[in-house]
Amino acid sequence: MKNMSPRKRNPVECLPLATGSQEKARGDDLASVYDRRLKTYDPAGDNVRKFLDLLAVRINRSLAVSLVACVHCGMCVDSCHYALTHPGDSTMTPVYKADQIRRIFKRRLDWTGRIVPWWVHAATPASDEDLNRLKNIVFGTCSACRRCTLNCPMGVDTASLVRFTRGLLTELGIVPEGVFNVSRDEWETGNQMAVTPLDYLGTLQWMRDDLRTDPKLSGLEIPVVRPDCDFMYTINPREIKFDPRSIAQAAKIFHLAGERWTLPSAGWDQTNFGMYSGDDRLGGYIARNLYEAAVRLRAGRIVISECGHGFRSTRWEGYTWAEYDQNIPSESVVRTLKRYLKEQRIRVDKSKNALPVTFHDSCNIARSGGMTEEPRWVLNEVCSNFQEMHPNRTENYCCTGGGGLLSMAEYRPLRLESAAVKARQLEATGAKLVCTMCHNCVDGLNDVVKHYKLDMKIVQVLELVENALVY
Amino acid sequence: MSPLLQFIEDKVQIAALFFMVAVYTIRIFWLFKFRAVRERSLPEGKARAGVAYSLSNVVLPWAMESTRKNPWFYIQFVVFHLGVTAAISATFIIPYAPHWLASSDIVAAFQAVMGAALAVGIWRFIRRLHSPALRAISTPDDFAAILLMIAYFALGILAVPNRAERGEGPMIAFFILTAFFLIYVPFSKISHYLYYPFGRVFLGRTLGRRGVFPVRKSASGRRAEGDQGR
């Protein structure tokens, strides 16, 4: 960046921009590339100018306040798992990461930074190389867990600044390859794992048939496109692709509770990579698909399967991205389970879950979604040995796979280093089962458990409830 | 009291204060030129409760882990800002209500508060120099802010006795620095107090609607009872 003295850089900041997938997408003449919904990198484009113009157009009031309000007090440092695990590396602190966009904002839009930039370290990116460095910082060194935001005395929302910066870079195609690939799949197929309608319907049928082998469940259905139901159930494509057991568990519980429910044929993906890439248009497209499916089916509510960012994007952010006023209530499936238990629509025996179990709060559900008590209430109903993790609820640490980091292989070594905090936290519980209500956290925590050789198994709430069922 | 000191205490301060108010007014208009984002989801919690919680966190050091685990830092914050309040108060009391400083006990109290703030200021300056994490993000504006405040507290300690007959030098310097602050602060990070309410209100409103704020520590499950759409 201009006007900046050279400083020792973290190796992650220097990772190159990989564009193999982008070139292939252009070569394949994908519709999303052709009509410029999915942006690819143009080395001959005036990317710095475009970045600055986008910054000026897209910035909103709360982001502007977060950019001007930071006093560089350093209170956020000890809240970040990257900073805690790299105490000698000042580039790992939340304030350093936020300052990378802050200095550009100051140079471009703020008074003092425009007149005397050196006084406030305001700077403009000099080249695409600087934009690539910025990409590595906002995608590779932050899981957008919002822990620093909740620990900032000024209310600076660093996680939102990181997402905002990601969004600007996504518009220029300056993104990690994994982010490009998943965004491509979402734009092209309407779900983030490119699940085909055949795969989707075939897996549902397979789960239904599998469940029906139990004579007590012979009448069980996994209904698709049934109108006027109590709720429309929405899932994570990972459930179709890698772990359909969770669909079976949900279907079994809904059946035993006597629920009238349905899955949609389209708009079933409650995950949303627009949240991670910062692309509000993608976010709005995916969210709108889902909301409109619920309206088409005249569903009484939308129930979101266990997924952190899926819950946050479907329940909260998606309406804003899609510019869609919420007209149907929505809730996490964990809240649905709680209702069944409270109303005694299902019966459970907690002695069936005797192993010590602890609960990991998904950042997007606890810190950004406001749901911390329901999963604990349910776990206390279905487990005989629940042990709290410390810190917990809104102060819990990220599984370290958040922010879309699981899709960015190049940042994996740094991610696993920063996971030492989580590993110590898990180990201290003495639990054998770590329960979470997020598919992303399942994969993130599995990585932590494997890397740090912890004797633990990662499970989800549905799994434990289903295991405790008495019928 | 010399006409120079009288002029600096009164006319210069008022002019500088008007300048500051004018710049801050423009600044707030500038901030509000950025578009506001309308939340379109149905609320789960109360935005007002979130805002109230968010704004009150300044007096709830146990609410955030960062202050709960660093009580010494929080005490420094309180002492430093009490010193700021005392110094600013002195700029009004000396010219317009000098009898309030007639008692030597009150003068001593002012000096003690500003002395403590001065010590905190020096500590903060050393911390900024010493900590690699802070050094990496510190700008000339950050260093200037803390150095100016240290100088301000030192001059404030000398000025509050309000004894012009013993020498006007410290008082003139104190009021010149005050006027400088009034003109400079809107362009520096010291104006963070202007942004503080906006930052806390925006965050509190968003997280209040979602039921994140006020943060609940107990497993009472009360929030779960407010099941939207049930």
- Position A8 confidence tier, pLDDT thresholds 50, 70, 90: low
Pairing of strands A469-470, A347-348: antiparallel
pLDDT of A445 over the 90 cut: yes
Distance from CA of A300 to the nearest CA of B (A): 9
DSSP run (H or E) holding A29: none
CA distance B141 to B187: 10
Q: Which residues of A touch B38 (CB under 8 A)?
A: 320
pLDDT of B219 over the 60 cut: no
For A326, name the nearest residue in chain B, comparing CA atoms only: B41
Residue A91 tokens read as 């580039």
Residue A135 near residue A17 (C-beta atoms within 8 A): yes
pLDDT of B227 over the 60 cut: no
Distance from CA of B184 to the nearest CA of A (A): 10
| Alpha carbon separation from A322 to A75, A274, A288, A316, B133 (Å, rounded) | 35, 11, 6, 11, 39
Q: Which residues of A touch B223 (CB under 8 A)?
A: 370-373
For B54, name the nearest residue in chain A, comparing CA atoms only: A155
- The full set of domains in chain B, from first to last, is 3-34+46-214 (1.20.950.20)
Q: What's the whole-number mean pLDDT along residues A251-270?
A: 98
CA distance A97 to A248: 42
Could B67 and A65 be called an inter-chain contact, meaning their C-beta atoms sit closer than 8 Å?
Answer: no
Distance from CA of B104 to the nearest CA of A (A): 36
pLDDT of B25 over the 80 cut: yes
Q: What is the pLDDT of residue B74?
A: 97
Q: What is the pLDDT of residue B82?
A: 98
For A328, name the nearest residue in chain B, comparing CA atoms only: B229
- Position A413 confidence tier, pLDDT thresholds 50, 70, 90: very high
pLDDT in tens, A64-82: 999 999 999 999 999 999 9
pLDDT of A109 over the 90 cut: yes
- Position A10 confidence tier, pLDDT thresholds 50, 70, 90: confident
pLDDT of A54 over the 60 cut: yes
Point out the residue among A71, A151, A325 whose CB comes nearest to the CB of B64: A151
Q: What is the pLDDT of residue B1?
A: 81
CA distance B14 to A356: 68
- The full set of domains in chain A, from first to last, is 11-175 (1.10.1060), 190-341 (1.20.1050), 348-470 (3.40.50)
Q: Which residues of B touch A315 (CB under 8 A)?
A: 41
Number of H helices, E strands in chain B: 11, 0
pLDDT in tens, A113-172: 999 999 999 999 999 999 999 999 999 999 999 999 999 999 999 999 999 999 999 999
Q: What's the whole-number mean pLDDT along residues B69-79?
A: 97
- Position B167 confidence tier, pLDDT thresholds 50, 70, 90: confident
Backbone φ and ψ for A458, nearest 5 degrees, come out as: -95, 130
- Position B221 confidence tier, pLDDT thresholds 50, 70, 90: very low
Could A78 and B227 be called an inter-chain contact, meaning their C-beta atoms sit closer than 8 Å?
Answer: no
Q: Which residues of B touch A71 (CB under 8 A)?
A: 189, 192
Q: What is the pLDDT of residue B225?
A: 36
CA distance A159 to A63: 10
Q: What is the pLDDT of residue B226?
A: 36
Could A320 and B230 be called an inter-chain contact, meaning their C-beta atoms sit closer than 8 Å?
Answer: no
What is the 3-state composition of chain A as percent helix, strand, coil, each rounded to the nearest 5? 55, 5, 35
Residue A418 near residue A425 (C-beta atoms within 8 A): no
Closest CA to A79 of A66, A93, A67, A97: A93
Q: What's the whole-number mean pLDDT along residues A6-15?
A: 78
Q: What's the whole-number mean pLDDT along residues B83-112?
A: 97
Mutation site for B-interface testing, chosen from A5, A58, A62 by largest number of B Cβ within 10 Å? A62
Distance from CA of A111 to the nearest CA of B (A): 7
For A380, name the nearest residue in chain B, comparing CA atoms only: B219
Q: Which residues of B touch A340 (CB under 8 A)?
A: none
Backbone φ and ψ for A233, nearest 5 degrees, come out as: -90, 135
CA distance B36 to B44: 21
Q: Which percentage of chain A shows pLDDT scores above 70? A: 98
Residues in chain B: 230
| 0.90 surpassed by pTM | yes
Q: What's the whole-number mean pLDDT along residues A21-34?
A: 96
Using the 8-state DSSP alphabet, how is residue A61 labeled? H
Q: What is the pLDDT of residue B220?
A: 38
- Position A7 confidence tier, pLDDT thresholds 50, 70, 90: low
pLDDT of A362 over the 70 cut: yes
Q: Which residues of A touch B199 (CB under 8 A)?
A: 65-66, 69, 154-156
Q: Can you spell out the DSSP letters for B102-146? A: -SHHHHHHHHHHHHHHHHHHHHHHHHHHH-HHHHHH--HHHHHHH
Could A395 and B65 be called an inter-chain contact, meaning their C-beta atoms sit closer than 8 Å?
Answer: yes
For B228, name the nearest residue in chain A, comparing CA atoms only: A329
pLDDT of A226 over the 50 cut: yes
pLDDT of A453 over the 60 cut: yes
pLDDT of A9 over the 90 cut: no
Distance from CA of A100 to the nearest CA of B (A): 10
Point out the residue among B58, B133, B212 whose CB comes nearest to the CB of A370: B212
Q: What's the whole-number mean pLDDT along residues B137-145?
A: 98
Number of cross-chain residue pairs from A and B with Cβ atoms under 8 Å apart: 188
Q: What is the pLDDT of residue A1?
A: 54
Q: What is the pLDDT of residue B230?
A: 30
Could B70 and A75 be called an inter-chain contact, meaning their C-beta atoms sit closer than 8 Å?
Answer: yes
Q: What is the pLDDT of residue B223?
A: 39
DSSP β-bridge partners for residue A231: A261
Q: What's the whole-number mean pLDDT along residues A101-116?
A: 97
Could A394 and B215 be called an inter-chain contact, meaning their C-beta atoms sit closer than 8 Å?
Answer: yes
Mutation site for A-interface testing, chosen from B73, B84, B139, B200 by largest number of A Cβ within 10 Å? B139
DSSP run (H or E) holding A460: strand A457-460
